[in-house]
Structure 1
Amino acid sequence: MRYNQIVTSIITSFALALIILIPEVSHGQSLDEYLIIAGENNPTLKTEFTKYRASLEQVPQVTALPDPDLSFGYFISPIETRVGPQQSRIGLNQMFPWFGTLSAKGDVATELAKSQFEVFEEARNKLFFQVKQQWYKLYLLHQSIDILEENIDILQTFENLSLQRYETGQVSQVDVLRVQIEKEDLQVQLELLKDQLKTNEIAFNELLNQDKSSPVKVSDRLALTPFTVNEVELSQQILSRNPRLSKLDYQALSAQRSIDVAQKSGMPKFGVGFDYIFTDERTDMNPSGNGDDAFMVKLGVKIPLWRGKYQAQEKQAKLNYRSIQDQQQAVENSLKTDLEKALTDLKDAERRNKLYKDIQIRRARQAIDILLEEYTSSSADFEELLRLQQKLLKFQLAQEQSIADQNTAVAYLEYLSGSYNTTPEQMNVKN
């Protein structure tokens, strides 16, 4: 083979080895489809949603009146009255709490149910982020495997070239040994990446709650997820839509209603009832109303005389409310820190992608082309050629890493800002 043909072959191999980012996703199952599968199948998500639906059933329980008391009594020794002996008695009593107590308890339960829905929202948003993050890892592993395989092919071409020059006595056998060492090292790295790919596919399928051996399709090319960063608006959106904060907002409202419930619990309770007494007729005489049954209406008041427990109940509710306020501040501070870190990661990934794609890879390619041309016609430093090839491989892998990191950072910002939030009405919840 002539040297110019070898050069053409090597340059063609390099062109195939370069991973150039293009602004669309090619074949492969859509990431959105995987998100739908995860949302429908993930057992943790199902658990949180079931807890929400269960919490809704607390509302009719706490807003219902106490069960009425029905009693029956039988006189072992009948009580003699003017109109006859009383034989038995039946009574019904119904207690009523202070005005507004039941509605206040309903408000407490309703706000707690809303907070439970936010727990579900947080679990779903976190699941979607984990699915995206894992999918980007799989994409990176696939691309890294392709890059290593193509670089191994290039090193094989280098090995053939060095063997030809060694056989003609133009170079030392050291050139052949160097390229063989480098190729074997890449082969070991390649096998490790393939093992990691299998492990990460299992982890991805676990998130979707499907068979661990199910094939996972990823895109051949990954577009950079657009994200126009307005830090002020983004911060406001996080504080208003993040489920972790929304959950505490509803819990705070519930705690406020609990204070109202505690105050109303210390108020009197009223009772209404009646007794119906069965009376037999007298046989010794026939007075007016002989044998008429008696009917009695009763009104009662339960007086909260011992105030200690009601005062403690109100104090407990106030302390719970204060505790939730402290939690709100702590979560808000944590979210602000997470936002700054995510923005830093996003900017760093953007810089790295631009550096490797537009500068480092292009320069490394130019340097390799020059050295390769010199090596085919003279005794240029073959070690330097291999070193630059290693650099190019490093830059290619780093560029793909920056693409995955950038998309992961955007996914995390979406998670923080509640981009996938919904409402019970939108989910058509049937209670």
Structure 2
Amino acid sequence: MTMVSLLTITLVLTTTASALGQKPATSTPTPLASLLAEAKRNNSGIKTANDAWRAAEQVPRQVSTLPDPTFTYQNMSVGSPRPFAGYTTNNFAYIGIGASQELPYPGKLRLRGEVAKRAADVKQADLDATMDSVADAVKVDYIRLAYLQKTLVILRENEKVLDQLIQDATAHYAVGQGSQADVLQAQVERTKILREITLNNEERGDAEAELKGLLHRDQDSPDIIAESLEEHPLLLTSAELLQLVRRQNPQIQVDASSIKEKNAALASAKRDGKPDFGLAYMWQQNDRKYPDYYMFTLNIHFHRRRRFHAKVAEAAEMLAQSKEELDSHLQEQLAQVQRGYVKVTNDEELLKEYREGLIPQSIAAYRSTLSSYASNRDVMTHVLLYFVNVLDMKLDEAQVLADHETVLAHLETLTGATLR
């Protein structure tokens, strides 16, 4: 065994754990909870939904208030278009002052206010759903960033190991114990890692840009460092998750609010068929030698039944549509949760297999081959083969972990529960 080979064994075996694992980032990581709070405060979509809700809250008072009263001034001239012509000579000339008020049928304004209140409730549910959607996007980007940081550490550490393997292969070739192909193959594997690092940098930039957009941060602000990616086991059963969807799913809450709004709209449409009233009073003053006039007017506004029935039918169909949408969305959300549950539980089994079987076994095979190579009982091609196998296993394990946490984040949004 050569001195160079002994050095390679020492370096590679002592760096295997760090090379195939994850090192903490040098900068201070930002907790996910902090970013979620920041998004809730600053996200433009959330602010827009909040403004829409606050605006909708002002509508009930508008539609439940009586129509504006009307005040009237009249001047009746006789014999000439000039104002006050004939006022002292003809008892038809007068000055009139009056007021009128429209009076909707009792209950109409209350029901219109109820419709508007329910519409505001829908806007509030939309706001809650928007906040959940933004939180889901922040979680996904954060997990993606943590995954990319983890894989970058793995790639850079393995790049260092490959550098040492290239030196060792070169030394073997120099003393006639290896081939030039070994050196070239090791260099090819190092170039592949450099390519992966470049792609990783590109993806991290993309994830950070998207995350900063959700947080309403300047794109040239400091980089975001995520905490280490860790597994959070799913503790709830499938039945429990499905039950939470029925009670807490954001889209279901929006649909339920919409049904209440459509119910109120149907009741209001039925009430709108009742007649409305108008009251008016006019005092008309003549010259003192003529008596004054006093006029009271009652108007009754009857609605055409054809229009009324069409309006009620429209409201009923809108209610039926909302109920169908609720059922459709519920089935869709339940299916998503069930698929997510299957994905998460299977990923947990895969992670166990990687950590307890595949990765330790691959590392053992790699170390054995490396020792054989150092003793000139094996070739560099086999060392590189097992090296790449371990690297792929570790990267695959990181991908499964990221997938597991991403699906878990989606389940949190679908169920309204805290699972991570």
Same topology, TM > 0.5: yes
What is the CA–CA distance in structure 1 between the aligned matches of 2:250 and 2:354, rounded to whole Å? 37
Partner of 1:429: none
**Which residue matches 1:369?**
367
Q: What residue is the counterpart of 2:301 in the other structure?
A: 302
CA contact (8 A) 1:170 1:379 kept: no
State the 1:29 CA deviation: 1.0
Give the Cα–Cα distance (whole angstroms) in 2 for the partners of residues 95 and 366 of structure 1: 90
In 2, Cα distance between equivalents of 1:90 and 1:56: 38
Give the 3-state SS of the residue equivalent to 1:213 in structure 2: coil
Deviates more, 1:131-140 or 1:5-14: 5-14
Matched, 1:127 2:129: no
**3-state DSSP class of the match of 1:276?**
strand
The alpha-carbon deviation at position 108 of structure 1 amounts to 0.6
> Is residue 190 of structure 2 the alignment partner of residue 183 of structure 1?
yes
CA distance in 2: counterparts of 1:174 and 1:21, whole angstroms: 33
Amino acid aligned to 1:314: V
Percent of aligned positions that are identical: 24
Q: CA deviation at 1:137?
A: 1.1
The answer to whether 1:339 aligns with 2:340 is no
Deviation at 1:129, TM superposition (A): 0.8
Where structure 1 has 5 or more consecutive residues not aligned to the other structure, the ranges are: 283-290, 421-431
1:67-106 → structure 2 map (5 Å cutoff): 67-77=68-78, 87-106=94-113
**Structure 1 CA distance, aligned partners of 2:307 and 2:293?**
40
Deviation at 1:226, TM superposition (A): 4.4
Q: Rate the CA distance shift 1:29–1:378 in 2: closer, same or farther, 3 A.
A: same
**Mind listing any 5+ residue stretches in structure 2 that lack a counterpart?**
79-84
Aligned AA (1:302): H
The amino acid across from 2:250 in the alignment is P
Kept in 2, the 8 Å contact 1:84–1:281? The answer is no
Are 2:381 and 1:383 equivalent residues in the alignment?
A: yes
2:81 is matched with none
CA apart distance, 1:20:
6.2
Deviations 1:84-118 (A, max 9, x none): 66522122121211121111111111111111111
Q: Is the 8 A contact 1:202 1:213 kept in 2?
A: no
Moved more, 398-407 or 161-170: 161-170
Cα distance in structure 2, aligned partners of 1:219 and 1:327: 38
| Distance in 1 (alpha carbons) for counterparts of 2:250 and 2:215 | 22
Q: Which residue of 2 aligns with 1:35?
A: 36
TM score, norm. by length of structure 1: 0.88
CA contact (8 A) 1:13 1:153 kept: no
Partner amino acid, structure 1, of 2:368: I
For 1:106, give the aligned amino acid: G
Distance, in Å, in 2 between the alignment partners of 1:233 and 1:356 is 28
Name the CA shift for 1:219/1:262 in 2 (closer, same or farther; >3 Å). Answer: closer
Q: Which residue of 2 aligns with 1:425?
A: none
Distance 2:292 2:34 in 1: 75
Query: SS in structure 2 opposite 1:32?
Result: helix
Cα drift, residue 168 of structure 1: 2.1
The C-alpha deviation readout for 1:304-324, integer Å capped at 9, x for no partner, is 3x2111111111111111111
**TM-score w.r.t. structure 2 length?**
0.90
C-alpha separation between the residues in 2 aligned to 1:374 and 1:339?
50
Residue 215 of structure 1 is matched in structure 2 by 222
User: Does residue 325 in structure 1 map to residue 320 in structure 2?
Assistant: no
Q: Which amino acid aligns with 2:369?
A: L
After the TM superposition, which residues 151-300 of structure 1 pair with which residues of structure 2 at under 5 Å, given as runs? 151-219=158-226, 221-282=228-289, 293-300=292-299
Aligned match of 1:426:
none
- 1:6 is matched with 8
Structure 2 contact 77–86 (Cα < 8 Å) conserved = no
Q: Any conservation in 2 of the 1:6–1:161 contact (CA below 8 Å)? A: yes
Residue number in structure 2 paired with 1:46: 47
Q: CA distance change for structure 1 residues 371 and 98 in 2, over 3 Å: closer, same or farther?
A: same
Structure 2 Cα separation of the partners of residues 199 and 2 of structure 1: 42
Task: Decide which moves more: 203-212 or 292-301.
Answer: 292-301
